[in-house]
Amino acid sequence: MNAQNKQRLVVIGNGMAGMRAVEEILERGGAEQFQITVFGDEPYGNYNRILLSNVLNGSQDASDIFLNPLPWYARNNITLYAGVRAARINRNEKQITGSDGTTVYYDKLLIATGSSPFVPPIKNLYEEEKRLRHGVYVFRTLDDCTHIAGYAVKCKRAVVIGGGLLGLEAARGLLNYGAHVTVVHNMPYLMNAQLDAQGAAILQNTLERMGIAFRLNANTSKVLGEDAVTGLEFDDGTQLSSEMIVISAGIRPNTSLAAECGLTVERGIVADDTMRSVDDPNIYVVGECAQHRGKVYGLVAPLWEQAQTLADHITGRNLFAVYAGSRIATKLKVMGVELASMGCTEASDSQDEVVVYSEPKRGIYKKLIVRSNQLAGAILLGDSGKAAHLMQIFDRQSELPEDRTQLLFDIGPAASAPPLLEMPDETQICNCSGVSKGTLRKCALSGIRTVKGVMEATRAGMGCGSCRPLVKEIVEWACEGRLEEDPSVHYYVPGVPLAKPELVEAVLAQKLKSVSAVFNALADGKEDPGSKPGLASLLKTIWAGEYEDERDARFINDRVHANIQNDGTFSVVPRIYGGVTSPAQLRRIAEVAEKYEVPMVKITGGQRIDLLGIKKEDLPRVWKDLGMPSGHAYAKSFRTCKTCVGTEFCRYGLGDSTALGIQIEKRFQGLESPAKLKLATAGCPRNCSEAMVKDVGAVAVEGGKWEIYVGGAAGAHVRKGDLLCTADSHEQVLQMMGRFMQYYRENAKYLERTYGFLERVGIEKVRAVVVEDREGIAKRLDEAMQAGIDAYRDPWQEAHQTHTPHQFAEMITAEGTI
């Protein structure tokens, strides 16, 4: 169908509801039916507004919360006017006028303008006509977030007006900027919409312990300060000093556009059960600006349901689709506080049954309100373990078990089977990705019988994660006990169904010398991209010089011998044996850094120098100009041997740690292994080179001896190495280290560092094989290690002769039209 036959769909509002509706429409083949245009007041693609709290508290980057970045619109042929407000709707002409004068005609219009923060009447709040003064903010958009964060760093004291869900999230976020934060609330207790007085008191206590102060029953009348904000005054005349104010006093639906063009507006724009305006069959309404059956919603879950109904209807997929309203449950996302609330918070009459459990000291409060044996409301504070379960029961109004404690605690046998069985397929289980029970069930029945597999296929549980226990239960139930443990946890790599010993056996028996040969022989020819690097590493270890090196099996770092950075550039770390360098070497590094305008030159934690931000196509020239071998800072291989000065200069030195370190590094450089190998030598037990927390370390002790430690770690995991043995000479150190490393190379799982390997296998076993040769394989290990060393070739030599076509090319020009 070409553009002319399509209907023009115009969407006002580029927020969560509007774009979700568009996604639902596209999913129903809407791209064929509609030419879509979107007006968005905010100058961005569509982002996840819920996560603004995380952006404010610093736990997520603004760039992480985009749902549909700008290129998504272009790819889906959607015209987006980003940063353009729809200023007028002309229903006679079916025309929208934008704030910049753009005019667009529609056949169907979707209003999704959301809400704006409510700003209570307070004196001295505005700079000029309707512009909040510097230091006073609302919290709704990404820009608000940026402004608040930018100002907060300069403030010692901050006030949040409003003790509701958002106000508390904002207050917690502001704490992270080092400000002293006070929440001002005009009610007797916090979160009065979701909590009762007793629960709120416990929540307040928990938040006070985090450092937030409160002023309740306080009505702000005036902002103090002439140029800069200095504080607040309340209607009782008392004052509170503060350099910034964040107002979070509720929201008001954005309805003026609709009202001006004559649509019925009450609290929101009034819509029917198909989410169409009650006045105009060509205008749909969705999201926080919509009023449906008298209700206006302020949370996303109902918006998803509205968007589905709307999409069914507008595309004609299901003209009978009906949105019947939602029951909503709320979760507070304040770091360190668990709180879920649903339905009413107080009994409405003496017939209602109220169940309360309270443990103020631990900040725990649980309350249920039961009406005719159904859940009318619940509060879970401090321990929301049962929240997912209660939300389901609440949502579908199931009959409750006689023993109410089962609803509050996990004790005794789980009573989950009957409610799951009764739960209708439509019930939404994952609120982040909008996945229903039925979708999960069907996915499990289609043959994906692992929890992980179902989660990956449906995206359930991949957002905030709070529904994961329930997803697991449903998958287990749907498989009727035929749930499979994800067997790949025992495999060496997920794509080849064999544990390491069996895999090695098959590789040897069938003489499989390349990664593609392994897939063909052992995985039905099915290539799994994620398994390739692990197999490449293993084959190289087994076959050394005979290994058939297929470059596509390597991760990009190992194809270009440098470490990829967040912007697609690379870092170059030349080898500096034992951390000992020379003026000539330093001069050369300096010259290269200048010549290639290297953005950052850094001394690494591994005693060498990192040149960061190098373009891929410059890599070969950089290496040539450096004239130094690769430091393998990018590879799963032997990395470095850190040294201390030792006997050379140090007054305590007992052994020549630098000479030994250089010998070690020259011998084992670049050797592939299941994970990184970082070594060190120390000239005495003061251990300045941290040899006891390295994968393999040698520490000089009195009497010309070296203690060899293995399995140490001081990165993501900290572990003191186990003493393997004491060696008498440098030669013996090299031999023992080599034999240990070979044993590790052959037996560790892919990406298993020595610290994990030692904990799994045990030092006794390792010592028995490596030192005492109880299995009689010491000689073979030594020979295999020697073969690995002999097969070593400095990868940076590929600067002189590339290994694959266009190995370092960033962009190749296509030949052209034929």
Ligand X SMILES: Cc1cc2nc3c(=O)[nH]c(=O)nc-3n(C[C@H](O)[C@H](O)[C@H](O)COP(=O)(O)OP(=O)(O)OC[C@H]3O[C@@H](n4cnc5c(N)ncnc54)[C@H](O)[C@@H]3O)c2cc1C
Interaction site with other proteins (CB under 8 A) = 2-4, 63, 68-69, 71-72, 75, 456, 459, 495, 516, 526-533, 550-553, 555-556, 559, 564, 566-568, 804-806, 809-818
Q: Which is nearer to ligand SRM, 523 or 601 (CB)?
A: 601
Residues 6+ apart with CB under 8 A from 558: 533, 536, 634, 635
- Name the nearest CA neighbour of 740 among 792, 683, 698, 793: 698
Q: Which residue is at the shortest CB distance from ligand SF4? A: 683
From CA 156, how far away is CA 182, in angstroms rounded? 11
Residue 244, binding choice from ligand SRM, ligand SF4, ligand X, none, Cβ under 5 to 8 Å by partner class: none
Q: How far is Cα 182 from Cα 175, in angstroms, rounded to an integer?
A: 10
To ligand SF4, the closest distance from the beta carbon of 578 in angstroms equals 13
Write a three-state SS string for 5-52: HCEEEEEECCCHHHHHHHHHHHHCCHHHHEEEEEEECCCCCEECHHHH
Query: Which residue type is seen at 166?
Result: L
3, interface contact from ligand SRM, ligand X, other proteins, none, CB < 5-8 Å by kind: other proteins
Phi-psi region of 776 (alpha: psi -120 to 50; beta: other; left: phi over 0): left
Nearer to ligand X, 159 or 340 (CB): 340
Kindly state whether residue 628 participates in binding ligand X, applying the rule CB under 6 A. no
d(CA 530, CA 448): 19
Q: What are the angstrom distances between the C-alpha of 606 and each of 142, 458, 578, 644?
A: 40, 43, 9, 12
3-state secondary structure at position 565: coil
DSSP 8-state class, residue 661:
H
| Closest CB 386 distance from ligand X, rounded Å | 19
Residues 96-115 that bind ligand X (CB under 6 A): 112-114
Query: Which of residues 12 and 375 has its CB atom nearest to ligand X in the complex?
Result: 12
- Cα–Cα distance measured from residue 172 to residue 56, given in angstroms and rounded to the nearest whole number: 9
Q: Find which of ligand X, other proteins, ligand SRM, none residue 411 binds, CB within 5 to 8 Å per kind.
A: none
Per CB under 6 A, does 340 bind ligand X?
Answer: no
Question: For ligand SRM, which is the closer residue by CB, 331 or 632?
Answer: 632
Angle at 205 between CA 202 and CA 208, to 5 degrees: 155
Q: Which entry of ligand SRM, ligand X, ligand SF4, none binds 579, CB below 5 to 8 A by partner kind?
A: none
Single out the residue of 196, 288, 558, 665 in contact with ligand X (rule: CB under 6 A).
Answer: 288
Q: Which does 331 bind (CB under 5 to 8 A by kind): other proteins, ligand SF4, ligand SRM, none?
A: none
Q: Shortest distance, CB of residue 676 to ligand SRM, whole angstroms?
A: 6
CA–CA distances in Å: residue 530 to residues 566, 647, 678: 20, 46, 24
Of 432 and 460, CB closest to ligand X: 432
- Write down the least CB distance from residue 549 to ligand SF4, Å: 40
Of 9, 16, 443, 504, the one binding ligand X by CB under 6 A = 16
Q: Which of 612, 748, 731, 608 is nearest to 677 (CA)?
A: 748
Is the CB of 71 or the CB of 447 nearer to other proteins? 71
Q: Please, which residue, 184 or 644, has the CB nearer to ligand SF4?
A: 644
* CA–CA separation, 684 and 676 (whole Å): 25
Structure tokens of 510? 């069938």
∠ CA 145-118-59, nearest 5°, is 25
Closer to other proteins by Cβ: residue 82 or 650: 82
Binding mask 47-86 for ligand X (x = CB under 6 A): --xx-xx-------------------------------xx
Q: For residues 602 and 184, give the distance between their C-alpha atoms in angstroms, rounded to a whole number.
A: 47
- Shortest Å distance, C-beta 37 to other proteins: 16
Task: Report which residue's Cβ sits closest to ligand X.
Answer: 15
Of 527, 456, 455, 530, whose CA–CA distance to 492 is shortest? 530
CA distances from 204 to 168, 214, 341, 360, 604 (A): 10, 8, 16, 11, 46
Q: In this complex, which beta carbon is closest to ligand X, that of residue 276 or of residue 540?
A: 276
3-state secondary structure of 706: strand
- Give me the least distance between CB of 670 and ligand X, in Å please: 49
Q: Give the range of 46-54, 127-135, 219-227, 739-747 binding ligand X by CB under 6 A.
A: 46-54
Where on the chain is the footprint of ligand SRM (CB under 6 A)? 563, 565, 571, 573, 602, 604-606, 608, 610, 612, 633, 639-640, 642, 676, 678, 713-717, 753
We find the least distance from the C-beta atom of residue 302 to ligand X, in angstroms, to be: 8
Amino acid (one-letter) located at 313 = H
Q: Binding marks (x or -) toward ligand X, 248..267, rule CB under 6 A?
A: ------x--x----------
